[in-house]
Amino acid sequence: MRVAIATQDMARVDAHLGWARHLMVYDVSAEGYRHLRTTSFHSGLNQDGDHGKLEARFEALTGCSLVFVADVGPDGEHGLATRRIAPMRQFAGQPIALALDALRDSLRGTPSRWLRREEQRSRTEP
């Protein structure tokens, strides 16, 4: 399944979705994970109320089932829900590898019903 990381420093889950300097996309399975791409943003990084900046981020999240974020605002929550992308705040401030390892380990064990469904859906979609 594809997941994204909202990050400023490309080492930690340390960015608010709307202010993320980078969105790093990974393919994650029970066997492991691999980096697919990084989308970097150079504008709209500190502008509250600029909801247009979210569209570029949503586009970068195409194909993702979830996004690890430090936080996300109400407009971001709505946009993610519309696109069936779950925000995960649990690893805010933590190393990216820790978040990815935890997701991989969850897929190896007994993942939640939602996570299992998303993993299966990702296998059938192009």
Closest CA to 15 of 3, 28, 5, 2: 5
Residue 120 is predicted with a pLDDT of 82
How many angstroms separate the CA atoms of 86 and 108, rounded?
Answer: 20
Residue 43 is predicted with a pLDDT of 65
Amino acid at 102: A
Residue 28 is predicted with a pLDDT of 96
Residue 53 is predicted with a pLDDT of 83
Residue 114 is predicted with a pLDDT of 85
- Taking the chain (126 residues) in runs of 10, the rounded mean pLDDT of each run is 98 96 97 98 64 88 97 96 96 98 94 86 72
CB 54 within 8 A of CB 48: no
For the chain, the structural domain boundaries read 2-124
Residue 118 is predicted with a pLDDT of 85
Residue 80 is predicted with a pLDDT of 97
CATH superfamily of this structure's domain 2-124: Dinitrogenase iron-molybdenum cofactor biosynthesis domain (3.30.420.130)
